[in-house]
Amino acid sequence: MARGDSELPPEPRLPGMTSPGDRRAEEGLQRVLGWREGAGFTIAAVLGSGILVLPALTANLAGPGSLMAWVIMAVLIVPVAWVLGRLATAYPHAGGIAEFVRQAFGLRLGRITGLLYIATVPMGAPVAALIGAAYLGVAVGLTHTGVMVAAAAMLFLSLLLNVLGVEFSGRTIVLVVIGIAAILLLAVVTATPHLRLVNFSPWLPHGLWPVGEDVALLFWAFVGWEMLAHMTEEFRHPGRDVMRAMFVAMVVVDLLYLTVAVATVGTHTYGPGRTANALADLVGLTLGRGGEILVGILGWLISYGTVHTYVAGFSRLVYAEARIGNLPAWLQKLHPRRRTPARILWLHAVPWGIVMLWTYVTGVSLATLIAWPSAVFIVLYVLAMASGFRLLRLPVERLLAAAGVLLSMGALVFLGWTMLYPGAILLLGALFLRRPQTGAHNGPDDP
C-alpha cells in the first residue's frame, strides 16, 4: 500500500513485467517510457475535442462568469488526477483501474471493472475519430462519405503506430501534443489584440446558477487521466516518472483550457449559433480563411491524440486481463520483436468497423454514441477513487480520494438514462462472474 514517496511498496512481480535479471523480462512489455512520453499520453487523453466547443458553450450559459467554472474544475480535478497517479506509482500494472479495484476489493469486482472497460471499445474511439474528421471536413469541404473515410484512416493510423512499438508510439504522441499546443497557443496569441475589457462585463448576466451547470458540463472535458495507469509497466522508472508525468499533464491541460476560455470570453466569439465554429471564429479574427483550415487540422490532431492514447491504454488492459486468466490466453501473446499486444490492437478493427458502418447507414448522432462510454468512465472513476481511499494510507491522500469519490458521484447525477448502460454491465458481471480465477492477486479475498 502507498505510504508516501519514501514508503511506496516494492513494485509487484507480475507475469510479463520486465525487471533486471528476470528472464521473463524479455517476454513481457518493454520498459522504455519516460515522463515525457507519459505526459504526452495523458495530455492527449484529457485534452479532447471539448476544447473546440466548450469555451463557447460555457460562456453561452454563464457569460464571463463561466471562467469561474473553468477555474473551479481545474482545481477539483486535482484530487482525481493525484490519486490515480499515486495508485499507478504504487501498483504499476497494465490493468490500470481494474488492478486497483482488484487490490482494494477483490477479484470479482476487479473482473467486473475490466468488463466495464471492454464495454467502451465499440464506441469510444470511433466517436472521437468521427468528431475530428468532421472538423476537418468542415474546413476542407469533405462530403459525408469523405468524413467517414477520414475517420477510418485515423483509426487505422492509430492501430499501425501502436503496433510499431510503445517507444515509437510515445514519441509520436509527444509530437502530436506539441502540435496541438502550438496551434492553440497561436489561436490565443493572434486573438490577444482583439481582447476587450468590456466583454468581461456584466460578470454574471444570468446569475450564479449557470456557473454550477458549467462545472457539471466541464467534467467531461477533464476525464482521461486513467489512461496513464495502463502504461506504467512500460515506464523505465515508474516510481519517479509517473507522478512527474501526471503533474506536467495537469499544468499543461489547465493552462491550455484556461487561456482558450479567457480568449473566447475576451473577444466575445460566442453566442447563439456560434458554438460549433467558435474556435474557428477566434482564429479567424486575424488569420481569416487560413484560420478555419488551421482549426480543422487542430480538430483532427486532438481527436487523433485521444484515439492514439485510448488504443494504447485499452490494449494493455486486455493484455493484463488475459495474463491473469480473465480472458483467453492467446490474447496475451505479444509481437515477438516489438513487444506490443499486436493481436489485441488489430482486433479493435472488428467492433470499430461495425460501429462505423452502423453510423454511416443510420446517421445516428455522435451525442448518442458518446453518452454511453462517457457514463461508463464516470462509474470507473467512482471505483478508482474508492480504491484509492482503501489502498492509500497518508491522511492527505485519503482525503483527496474521498474528494474524488464525491466529485465522481456528483457527475453520476447528470448521466440520466445513459446510466442504464454501465448499470446493466455491472449487473451482468455480478450474475455471471461468480467464480473468479485465483492466482496472480494479492488483494483482499472475495467473500
Confidence of residue 374 (pLDDT cuts 50, 70, 90): confident
Comparing CA positions, the residue from 62, 55, 59 lying closest to residue 208 is 62
Confidence of residue 3 (pLDDT cuts 50, 70, 90): very low
Q: What is the mean pLDDT of the chain?
A: 78
Across 354-368, average pLDDT: 74
What's the pLDDT tens digit per position in 191-243?
888 888 888 888 888 888 888 777 777 776 777 888 888 888 888 888 888 89
Comparing CA positions, the residue from 216, 218, 203, 202 lying closest to residue 260 is 218
Across 345-354, average pLDDT: 85
In this model, does residue 142 exceed pLDDT 80? yes
What spatial distance separates the first Cα and last Cα of the chain, rounded to whole Å? Answer: 21
Kindly list the distances between the CA atom of residue 320 and the CA atoms of 232, 235, 344, in Å, as whole numbers in the listed order.
12, 16, 11
Across 103-130, average pLDDT: 83
Q: According to the model, what pLDDT value does residue 248 have?
A: 92
What are 235's strand-pairing partners?
33
> What angle (nearest 5°) sits at the alpha carbon of residue 180, between those of residues 177 and 181?
85
| Distance from C-alpha of 416 to C-alpha of 437, rounded to nearest angstrom | 34
Across 343-366, average pLDDT: 80
What are 33's strand-pairing partners?
235
Confidence of residue 437 (pLDDT cuts 50, 70, 90): very low
For the 38-432 domain, the top CATH level (class) is mainly alpha
Confidence of residue 93 (pLDDT cuts 50, 70, 90): confident
Q: According to the model, what pLDDT value does residue 5 have?
A: 40
CB 315 within 8 A of CB 345: yes
Candidate from 144-153, 172-181, 293-302 with smallest mean pLDDT: 293-302
In this model, does residue 278 exceed pLDDT 90? no
- pLDDT > 70 in the chain, percent: 83
pTM, rounded to two decimals = 0.77
Confidence of residue 387 (pLDDT cuts 50, 70, 90): very high
Domain spans of the chain, in order of start: 38-432
What's the pLDDT tens digit per position in 10-57?
444 444 444 333 333 346 777 878 888 888 888 888 887 677 777 888
Longest CA span, the chain:
67
Between 288 and 74, the more confident residue is 74
In this model, does residue 2 exceed pLDDT 50? no
CB 191 within 8 A of CB 282: yes
SS3 label, residue 196: coil
In this model, does residue 135 exceed pLDDT 80? no
- pLDDT > 90 in the chain, percent: 6
* DSSP letter string, 48-90: -THHHHHHHHHHHHHGGGHHHHHHHHHHHHHHHHHHHHHHHHH
In this model, does residue 403 exceed pLDDT 70? yes
